């Protein structure tokens, strides 16, 4: 296997790294403290072409694949995982639209996502239904010319920004007394009557990424706003989650690398015990653990992305990457705080933000426990979920 990046991939990696260091890293702390969606900064991300990376040129994209998007997200998350999360969700939303939307739907909604002038959101999670999508209760009832949507979604990223164009909403569309629930994925444009984004959550991390509940009260959705087929929404939502798992893995790899970068710099400059603490074996042990875990995470994530581009990625391949990379991200942030000592516990120390940001990565897009169940089932064990 060739583990080297191509010339195009290396150029992309370097250009996003330079952009993140110049435009993102210097203001990441302020964005975290203010907890306001950075519209202007997202426009700069778009101007860099990052939002267009995995889309074909006929749709205004750069014509790259999942692996190139992973490379870019890693560098973006190295400066600010919150911004990378915003970007990855919108891109994943656009990829679902491109793959399963009608020509009319694609023409209406995709250009804004690709250009970065608009943002998309995916609304599957509810207060009582996260990884367990069978617990979804938001319901769409068939009426003349469309559907009437009622229910509530929770913890939805990108749903209430000034740039939000549409939200993909999964709802139950089978009859209430049906033996088996069936689900449909609806395109709900921002501003639709009966669709109300709630107030943003006050969060532990990802503070400048927009996250809020959504409420649907007799929200009318026309028939031509169904994505894919009626009753075919659950598989499309899961495919979206699978795409997002690779992207989220990359976000954790970038944050883990940033934890290493800061720890090495601090260890080489912090003086104690008659020298730099980087000369102490216990500190070296922590940083070495961070480095090997991050390199393994990167390899698993790049491999999952490459297999996805080839169309051969299994759920287990994605689970390996998502589980290991996100858990390693939290471990590295934790060790980075330990290396920094009391300074690491302060809000204005970057590694404390890394710890807060990455914590949700082991929950979203299928919790770590769900990833282990996927692995166990794929390995031939009798798993019931």
CB atoms within 10 A of CB 310: 10
| Residue 303 belongs to some domain of the structure | yes
Residue 196 located in a structural domain: yes
Instruction: Concatenate the DSSP letters of all residues of 158-202 into one string.
Output: TTTSTTEEEEEEEEE-S-TT-SS--EEEEEEETT-TTEEE-PPP-
Q: Tell me: do 113 and 30 sit in the same domain.
A: yes
CATH number at residue 64: 1.10.540.10
Res. 3: pLDDT tops 90:
no
**Predicted pLDDT of residue 130:** 76
| Residue 254 is assigned to a structural domain of this protein | yes
One domain for residues 204 and 160: yes
Alpha-helical regions (H) of 270-344: 281-310, 315-340
Q: How high does pLDDT run on average in the chain? A: 95
Residue 2 lies in a domain: no
Q: Is 144 contained in some domain?
A: yes
For residue 21, what are the contacts with CB-CB under 8 A and spacing of at least 6?
79
Grade residue 248 by pLDDT with cuts at 50, 70 and 90: very high
- Written as six digits, the tokens of 172 are 């139950």
Q: What CA–CA distance (Å, rounded) separates 128 from 157?
A: 17
256 contacts 101 by C-beta, under 8 angstroms: no
What pLDDT shows up at residue 176?
87
Q: Are residues 239 and 374 in the same domain?
A: yes
Pair 248, 356 in one domain: yes
Where is the domain boundary, 90, 117, 144?
A: 117
- Answer whether residue 309 shows pLDDT above 80: yes
How does DSSP assign 58-112, residue by residue? GGTS----HHHHHHHHHHHHHH-HHHHHHHHHHHHHHHHHHHHS-HHHHHHHHHH
CATH number at residue 354: 1.20.140.10
Query: Which of 177-181, 193-197, 206-210 is predicted with the least confidence, judged by mean pLDDT?
Result: 177-181
Find the mean pLDDT for residues 199-210.
Answer: 97
Distance from the Cα of residue 320 to its chain's centroid:
16
Domain's final residue, options 217, 232, 247? 232
pLDDT in tens, 96-136: 999 999 999 999 999 999 999 999 999 999 998 877 777 89
Tens of pLDDT, residue by residue over 278-296, are: 999 999 999 999 999 999 9
How far apart are the two ends of the chain, measured CA to CA in Å?
35
Assign 384 a pLDDT band (cuts: 50, 70, 90): confident
Mean local confidence (pLDDT), 74-80: 98
Residue pair 267/291 in contact (Cβ under 8 Å)? The answer is no
Residue 183's CATH number: 2.40.110.10
Q: Answer whether residue 383 is part of any domain.
A: no
State which of 117, 146, 170 marks the end of a domain: 117
Q: Are residues 226 and 242 in the same domain?
A: no
Task: Show the domain range for 258.
Answer: 235-378
The verdict on 127 and 85 lying in the same domain is no
Per the structure, the count of domains in the chain is: 3
Neighbouring C-beta atoms of residue 109, cutoff 10 Å: 22
Q: Whole-angstrom Cα distance, residue 344 to residue 335?
A: 10
pLDDT at position 177: 84
pLDDT 10s digits, 212-247: 999 999 999 999 999 999 999 999 988 888 889 999
Q: What is the pLDDT of residue 385?
A: 66
Q: Is the domain of 108 the same as that of 137? A: no
In this structure, are 200 and 160 located in the same domain? yes
The mean pLDDT value for 81-91 works out to 97
Strand partners, 171: 184
Tokens 């260091």 -> residue: 21
Are both 176 and 202 inside the same structural domain? Answer: yes
What confidence tier does 383 reach under pLDDT thresholds 50, 70, 90?
Answer: confident
Residues 20 and 45 in one domain: yes
Evaluate whether residue 385 is within a structural domain: no
Tens digit of each residue's pLDDT (9 = 90 or more) over 18-60: 999 999 999 999 999 999 999 999 999 999 999 999 999 999 9
Supply the pLDDT for residue 353.
97
Q: How confident is the model at residue 355 (pLDDT cuts 50, 70, 90)?
A: very high
357 and 284 assigned to the same domain: yes
Q: Which residues pair with 166 in a beta bridge?
A: 120, 189
Q: Are residues 138 and 53 in the same domain?
A: no
Burial class (CB in 10 A: 0-12, 13-18, 19+), 121: buried
Question: 384 lies in a domain?
Answer: no
């Amino acid at each position: 296997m060739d583990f080297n990046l191509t010339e195009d991939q290396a150029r992309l990696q370097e250009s996003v790294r330079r952009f993140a260091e110049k435009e993102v890293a210097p203001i990441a702390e302020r964005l975290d403290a203010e907890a306001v969606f950075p519209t202007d900064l997202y426009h700069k991300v778009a101007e860099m072409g990052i939002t267009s990376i995995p889309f074909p040129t006929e749709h205004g994209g750069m014509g790259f694949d999942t692996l190139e998007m992973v490379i870019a997200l890693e560098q973006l998350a190295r400066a600010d995982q919150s911004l990378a999360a915003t970007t990855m969700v919108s891109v994943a939303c656009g990829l679902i639209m491109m793959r399963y939307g009608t020509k009319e739907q694609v023409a209406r909604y995709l250009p804004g996502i690709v250009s970065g002038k608009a943002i998309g959101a995916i609304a599957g999670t509810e207060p009582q239904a996260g990884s367990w999508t069978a617990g979804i209760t938001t319901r769409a009832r068939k009426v003349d010319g469309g559907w009437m949507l009622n229910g509530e979604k929770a913890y939805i990223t990108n749903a209430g920004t000034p740039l939000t164009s549409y939200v993909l909403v999964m709802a139950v569309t089978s009859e209430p007394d049906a033996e088996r629930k069936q689900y449909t994925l609806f395109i709900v444009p921002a501003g639709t009557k009966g669709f109300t984004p709630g107030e943003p959550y006050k969060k532990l991390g990802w503070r400048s990424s927009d996250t809020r509940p959504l409420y649907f009260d007799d929200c009318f959705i026309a028939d031509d706003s169904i994505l894919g087929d009626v009753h075919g929404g659950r598989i499309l939502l899961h495919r979206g989650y699978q795409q997002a798992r690779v992207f989220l893995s990359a976000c954790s790899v970038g944050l883990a690398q940033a934890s290493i970068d800061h720890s090495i710099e601090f260890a080489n400059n912090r003086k104690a015990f008659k020298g730099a603490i980087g000369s102490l074996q216990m500190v070296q042990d922590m940083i070495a653990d961070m480095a090997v875990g991050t390199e393994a995470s990167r390899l698993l994530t790049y491999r999952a992305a490459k297999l996805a581009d080839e169309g051969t990625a299994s759920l287990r391949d994605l689970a390996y990457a998502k589980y290991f990379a996100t858990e390693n991200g939290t471990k590295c942030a934790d060790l980075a705080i330990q290396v920094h000592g009391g300074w690491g516990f302060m809000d204005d120390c970057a590694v404390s933000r890394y710890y807060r940001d990455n914590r949700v990565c082991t929950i979203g897009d299928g919790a770590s426990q769900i990833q282990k169940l996927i692995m166990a089932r794929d390995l031939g064990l009798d798993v019931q979920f």
